[in-house]
Structure 1
Amino acid sequence: MTRVAIVTGGSRGIGRAAAERLASDGFAVVVVYGGNKDEALAAVEAITAGGGQAIAAQADVADEHAVEAVFDTAEKTFGGIDVVVHAAGITYLAPVAEMDLDRLDRVHRTNIRGPFVVAQQAARRVRDGGAIINFSTSVLALALPGYAAYAASKGAVEGITLILARELRGRDITVNAVAPGPTATALFLDGKDEETITRMAAQPPLERLGTPSDIAEVVSFLAGPARWVNGQVLRANGGLA
């Protein structure tokens, strides 16, 4: 039986690296994208060119009907769902005193309602023996100024993750979150000058930024061999915090 993974935010960055890594691990992958159709199709093409199985599916992760349709598509196309990786997310940076509240609402819709909607479908439909993997951030431990809205949303993701792990007792489904540190993705690099990037790269004891493949390695571990890791937040940040 082919194992099947749904990866949200799968068109770019960490999500795409995770989708490609899971495909190389033998999963059939549903690459879920919000607006980047061309990049999602490119991810699918890269996977299929390497001999893997993948399809693309569009959804606003905060729309329960769209997410349900993605899960329907996964089941109809590949026969079931074994792993759900929720990597979709957005961020706006501003001090608390200056944060535009409409932007706060958008962050929370995508980063709190989105993970909850995806987790709800995953809890109902992931096959026994599967895995659910969410994304937090090491910013929670670092408490960086300007990140309050983003960190608040990811604190919620950690709460959802730890509680869902306990709610799925008896089904042999693991639920964990990965909390990357600074990782060289378009989302992270956008708007940062070279000095800022160099300074942040020097902070971990390993003295570099993470890469999407570093984080995909952790996803692969949680999706496959890590059957005794459950209800945890893995801080993949090179020793930063």
Structure 2
Amino acid sequence: MTYQARFEGKAAVITGGSRGIGAAVARRLAGEGAAVAIGYRDNKEAADALVAELRTGGSRAVAVRADAADPEQTRALVMAAVAEFGRLDVLASCAGIEHFDALERITPAAFDRVFTVNTRGQLFAAQHAAAHMGSGGRIVLTSSVSASRAVFGHTLYAASKAAVESMVLNLSAELGQRGITVNAIAPGGTATDMAAEHGAGYQHPQLAGRLSMQEWSALQIALKRLAEPAEIAAAYAFLASEDASYMTGRTLQVDGGMF
């Protein structure tokens, strides 16, 4: 596929960029001309391989270890990008963790872990990125369709993502004064390793384990399949581009028509 050069001369930070949707976002932005800094927590091998792939294709790319649960590591990721590329135009905050459990088994430690990564981590990613952005800066956070639909045992995760949607709504007023937009993507089911590990949790308990993800998708999604990561990445690229210059404070659902 041939992309436009919408991000020529611009620099982007992608948290959670070594795998899944984050890696697809890195490929898409780099494919449209952006220099990209890929944040990763544990999988250095995957991050380095992605950087090598992007450099082979002619893109500028670096990998920086940064646990999204630690705001100081996120700050260091942003600073590394600015030092390497001389600017920062785009933040794609893709790092996140899943959680399924019934109400009676949710612990304070689980609450802290999920909200630390999915909510606090994204807030401080936005804070550190915005500090280096001028007018035209783009911040794209990650919510989930789970924020607006009921799933058994998904309360903690869904709440952490619903908070992100409130964050972008309120940050839009503040950052809009500086010409920076802030939006979120709410992906539906996507063919990633996370979906392979946790996808069965989205099924009704009476069906869990009885349907494959393909069978479940055919019943629950208008397009009858999971998204490919590249399809979700296209939505991040849209919100990060000048094509979305008059869109801020909003969450864009990209779910294939989930019902």
Indicate whether the TM-score tops 0.5: yes
User: Which residue matches 1:6?
Assistant: 13
Letter of the structure 1 residue corresponding to residue 254 of structure 2: A
Q: What number of residue pairs does the alignment pair up?
A: 241
Matched, 1:183 2:190: yes
User: Which residue matches 1:138?
Assistant: 145
Alignment of 1:26-41 (within 5 A): 26-41=33-48
User: Which residue matches 1:201?
Assistant: 217
CA RMSD, 1 decimal:
1.5
User: Which residue matches 2:247?
Assistant: 229
In 1, Cα distance between equivalents of 2:210 and 2:229: 19
Matched, 1:118 2:135: no
In 2, Cα distance between equivalents of 1:199 and 1:162: 35
Give 3-state SS (helix, strand or coil) of 1:125's partner. coil
Contact 2:134-2:179 at 8 Å conserved across structures: no
- Runs (5+) with no aligned partner, structure 2: 1-7, 201-208
In 2, Cα distance between equivalents of 1:127 and 1:30: 18
In 2, Cα distance between equivalents of 1:45 and 1:92: 32
Question: 1:194: Cα distance to partner?
Answer: 7.4
Cα distance change on mapping 1:120 and 1:50 into 2, 3 Å: same
Contact 1:200-1:209 at 8 Å conserved across structures: no
Give 3-state SS (helix, strand or coil) of 1:60's partner. coil
Matched, 1:165 2:183: no
Alignment of 1:44-193 (within 5 A): 44-191=51-198, 192=200, 193=209
- Runs (5+) with no aligned partner, structure 1: none
In 1, Cα distance between equivalents of 2:140 and 2:71: 18
Q: Which runs of 4+ in 1 moved over 6 A?
A: none
More displaced stretch, 111-120 vs 101-110: 101-110
Question: 1:98: Cα distance to partner?
Answer: 2.1
In 2, Cα distance between equivalents of 1:70 and 1:231: 24
Letter of the structure 1 residue corresponding to residue 223 of structure 2: L
Cα distance change on mapping 1:186 and 1:101 into 2, 3 Å: same
Deviations 1:5-50 (A, max 9, x none): 0000000000000001000010000000011111111111111111
Letter of the structure 1 residue corresponding to residue 235 of structure 2: V
In 2, Cα distance between equivalents of 1:110 and 1:102: 13
More displaced stretch, 100-109 vs 31-40: 100-109
Question: 1:196: Cα distance to partner?
Answer: 4.0
In 2, Cα distance between equivalents of 1:101 and 1:189: 27
Deviations 1:30-84 (A, max 9, x none): 0000111111111111111111110001112232221221111111110010000
In 1, Cα distance between equivalents of 2:136 and 2:55: 26
Deviations 1:102-136 (A, max 9, x none): 22221111111101110111222223211000000
Deviations 1:144-177 (A, max 9, x none): 1111110010011111111111111232211100
In 1, Cα distance between equivalents of 2:109 and 2:70: 18
